Amino acid sequence: MIGAASVPEVTDHPAVQVDDLVVGYGSTPVLSGVRLLVPSGAGVCVTGENGIGKSTLLRCVAGLQRPDDGEIRVFGGRAGSTPDFWRAVVTTVEPPTWYPGLTAREHAELVCRAHGQDPSAAGIDDALDQFGLAGHRDAIPASLSSGQKQRLTLALALLRPSSLLILDEPEQRLDRDGRALVADLLAEYLKTGGSILMASHDDAFASSSGTEITTMESLS
């Protein structure tokens, strides 16, 4: 079912634990002494003005950027590039480069099959329908609009099993109906035991998705 978390193993560890994180670009410090806790099964939405370091924080938690100092734990382990990590974690922090010659629906089928899901039982068509992509299932994703690409990325992220979603402004480029739909799906994801860490500029969206809102300033 789309929007349902699949926790591979029960863990006593928090989903995300960040201690004294320090990141800088050259001589410009972006994050300094950041602490963050996302309990397992909970959702946290980080808000703050542009350039304050929300995306940098998410990238570090996803293991896509090496911090200068501090410690990051995801389900008690180190964030990294291992297959186990990426089986538990899905992120939309970076936009994908789509495979050539593969339609939107086939991308979804590829993701499901890679995770051992039966494509027909995984609800691919329902997911594309929900995200307003039913009429674009035969389209090459690269030819979709930026909003449609965002919907497809979120559909793929929610179709496959995972325990933690790391989302960077998932409401971006979505219309009002799209935002409401994604918020509902994220709330459903939390109810089924998944954890969420996201950054957003939209407090209403964050609230309706069931995440606890926290500001970047409060993390230092």
Partner 1 sequence: MTTVAVAPLRRWIRRAQVAHLERGERFGTFYFVILFVLVVGSMFWNRLHALVWPADPDTSALAGAALITVVAGGLYLALGRLGPLAISRPAASWLLTAPISRRRLLWPSFATTTAFAALTSAVATLALLGRAGPRPVPVTLVLTGALVGVGVLLVTVAAQSGGRWAVLLDAVVSLLLAAGLAGLVVDAAVGAPRLSGWPPAATLVTATGAFALVAGLFFVLAVRGLTRTPDDRILDASRTAGTLADSAFGVEPSWVADMVERRYWTHRKLRSAALNSRLPVLAAQDLRLALRRPRRLLWLLLASALPALLTHAPVWLLGPAVLVGTLLAAGTTAGNTRTDAANPVLLRMLALNSRRAITQRLLIPAVLAAAWGALALTWLELLVALPPGPWWALGLALGPVGAIAAVRRARVGFVNNALLPIDTPMGSISTGPALASVIGYDALLLGLPAIVLIATGTPLTWLGVATQLAFGLLGGRAYLAGTTDPERVELAKPT
Nearest-approach distance from CB 206 to partner 1, in angstroms:
24
Nearest-approach distance from CB 98 to partner 1, in angstroms:
8
Torsion of CA 63, 36, 16, 173, to 10 degrees: -70
The residue written with tokens 């209403």 in the block is 204
Site residues for partner 1, 23-82, by CB under 8 A, read 81-82
Site residues for partner 1, 147-166, by CB under 8 A, read 156-157, 160
Distance of alpha carbon 179 from alpha carbon 181, whole angstroms: 5
Q: Is 106 a binder of partner 1 (CB under 8 A)?
A: yes
Residue among 112, 148, 156 at smallest CA distance from 132: 148
What is the spatial order of strands in the sheet that 16-25 belongs to? 28-38, 16-25, 69-74, 77-78
Nearer to partner 1, 23 or 133 (CB): 133
Q: Which of 7, 57, 58, 105 binds partner 1 (CB under 8 A)?
A: 105
| Residues found near partner 1 in the complex (CB under 8 A) | 81-83, 85-87, 90-91, 94-107, 109-111, 113-115, 119, 137-138, 140, 142-143, 156-157, 160
